[in-house]
């Protein structure tokens, strides 16, 4: 009886250790994809500045700061704490708004980023997994030409590449052994876009002055994480 009890206890301990090891161990590869919202820093550009610079009455044009899009990541875990991640994102929208119902084609904007860096993950015994990362790479900002007859004519296509750096983190919640929900990921996203040059290329040299030569953006992402 004593031997049986000892054997049973040993089996329980071994099983518990195995479960613990499986719980805290990260998978080697995980892929994330989901929705992303970018709150853009307009670098001192305001609706008043737009209307004044383009000789429009007050209230003719407004300014947009929020852009919807997507965010995807591929992560390789070196161990249960440290990994490396490649981060890809795209955001889209109209940089300007207007109350003029006769306008049919305002300029459209899109922004893509490609960044890489280390990620630290704290694997708990529960379903919640917090993480933090630091990323660096490139950001591409593009604005389509807009045709607005009777106002400021047509803007030109303009594309600008700049250095991008992001720092942030988030929380994953496990719903299945190989799938989690990224409840939320928040990043401070710095880009080195010179907004003076960007908007002067779009609307005409010398029109915009004293804008920022960098952007301090915020990015929120949520979606599904698959683990291999």
Q: Output the CA–CA distances (angstroms, integers) from residue 175 to 34, 78, 128, in the order listed.
A: 16, 23, 10
Q: Which residues, listed in sequence order, are joined to residue 183 by a DSSP beta bridge? A: none
CB environment 161-176: b (16+ within 10 A), e (fewer): ebebbbebbbebebee
Q: What are phi and psi of 202, to 5 degrees?
A: -80, -40
Confidence of residue 203 (pLDDT cuts 50, 70, 90): confident
Q: Which residue has the higher pLDDT, 9 or 178?
A: 178
pLDDT of residue 46: 93
144 three-state secondary structure: coil
Q: Is the pLDDT of residue 3 over 70?
A: no
Confidence of residue 204 (pLDDT cuts 50, 70, 90): confident
Confidence of residue 206 (pLDDT cuts 50, 70, 90): confident
Query: Residue 101 is encoded by which pair of tokens?
Result: 């119902």
Q: Please tell me whether the overall predicted TM-score, pTM, comes out greater than 0.75 for this model.
A: yes
Q: Is the pLDDT of residue 32 over 80?
A: yes
**What percent of the chain has pLDDT above 90?**
61
pLDDT of residue 107: 82
Domain ranges of the chain: 27-227
Confidence of residue 112 (pLDDT cuts 50, 70, 90): very high
pLDDT of residue 154: 60
* C-alpha–C-alpha distance, residues 92 and 36, integer Å: 10
Least confident piece of the model among 51-55, 140-144, 150-154, 162-166: 150-154
Mean pLDDT over each residue of the chain, to the nearest integer: 85
Mean pLDDT of 202-208: 85
* Site of tokens 């908007």: 199
Q: Is the pLDDT of residue 104 over 60?
A: no
Q: Between 3.30.450.20, 3.40.1550.10, 3.90.78.10, 2.40.160.20, what CATH number should domain 27-227 receive?
A: 2.40.160.20
Mean pLDDT of 119-125: 89
């Amino acid at each position: 009886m004593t031997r049986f009890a000892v054997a049973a206890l040993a089996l329980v301990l071994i099983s518990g250790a195995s479960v613990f090891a499986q719980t805290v161990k990260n998978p080697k590869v995980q892929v994330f994809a989901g929705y992303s919202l970018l709150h853009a820093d307009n670098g001192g550009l305001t609706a008043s500045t737009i209307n004044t610079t383009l000789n429009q009455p007050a209230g003719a044009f407004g300014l947009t700061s929020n852009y919807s899009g997507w965010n995807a990541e591929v992560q390789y875990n070196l161990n249960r704490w440290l990994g490396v991640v490649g981060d890809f994102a795209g955001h889209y929208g109209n940089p300007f708004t207007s109350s003029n119902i006769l306008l049919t084609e305002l300029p459209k904007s899109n922004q893509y980023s490609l960044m890489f860096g280390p990620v630290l993950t704290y694997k708990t015994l529960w379903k919640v997994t917090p993480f933090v990362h630091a990323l660096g790479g490139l950001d591409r900002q593009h604005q389509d030409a807009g045709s607005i007859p009777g106002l400021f004519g047509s803007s030109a296509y303009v594309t600008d590449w700049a250095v991008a750096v992001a720092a942030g983190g988030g929380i994953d919640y496990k719903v299945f052994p190989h799938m989690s929900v990224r409840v939320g990921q928040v990043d401070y996203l710095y880009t080195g876009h010179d907004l003076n040059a960007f908007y002067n290329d779009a609307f005409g040299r010398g029109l915009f002055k004293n804008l920022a030569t960098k952007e301090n953006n915020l990015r929120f992402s949520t979606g599904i994480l698959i683990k291999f």
